[in-house]
Amino acid sequence: MKIFLMGFLKSLFKTITALIVIFIIYGFFLIRDIKKVDNFCSEMKPGLDVNQIHLIADKYGVGFSHVRDPNSVKNQKLGIKLTDKENTWFFAVGAPMTIGEHACGVYHDNHVVLSAKARG
C-alpha cells in the first residue's frame, strides 16, 4: 500500500507540475499577443497614411494577409466598406490566443486612419 501511495503521489506531482508549466507557457503567449495588438493599435493614430499600416503590422507581427499586404489599399482590400458611411472602411486585428476577445478595430477612408480602438 505504501509503494502504491508513493507512486500515486509521484504521478500526481508530475501531472500538476506539467499543468503548471502548460499554464505558464499559455500565459506568456497570451500576454505577448495582447501586447503586440495593443502596440499596433497605439500606432494607429488619426491621420496616419493607410499605406503605412502594413509596415506597422509587419513590425509587430499582427494582422491577416490583407493587413500585411502593401497593395491592399490600392486593391481596396484593407477591411470592409461600411455601407452606412460614405467611403469609410473597417478592419480588426485580433490577438490569436484570445480567440477574438482582444482586438484593435481601425476605421479609415482608404487614405488616412480615422480612428482606432482596442477592445477586450
In the chain, the amino acid numbered 79 is G
**What is the pTM (predicted TM-score) of this model?**
0.83
For 88-117, give the secondary structure using H, E and C. CEEEEEECHHHCCCCEEEEEECCCEEEEEE
In eight-state DSSP terms, residue 45 is -
Local confidence pLDDT in tens for the 120 residues of the chain: 788 889 899 999 999 999 999 999 999 999 999 999 999 999 999 999 999 999 999 999 998 888 999 999 888 889 888 877 678 999 999 998 888 799 999 999 999 999 999 997
Number of continuous H segments (helices) and E segments (strands) in the chain: 3, 4
Edge-first strand order for the sheet with 103-108 is 80-81, 89-94, 103-108, 113-119
Helix or strand holding residue 118 (H, E): strand 113-119
- Report the largest interatomic distance among the alpha carbons of the chain, rounded to a whole angstrom: 77
- Our CA dihedral for 44, 78, 29, 27, rounded to 10 degrees, sits at 70
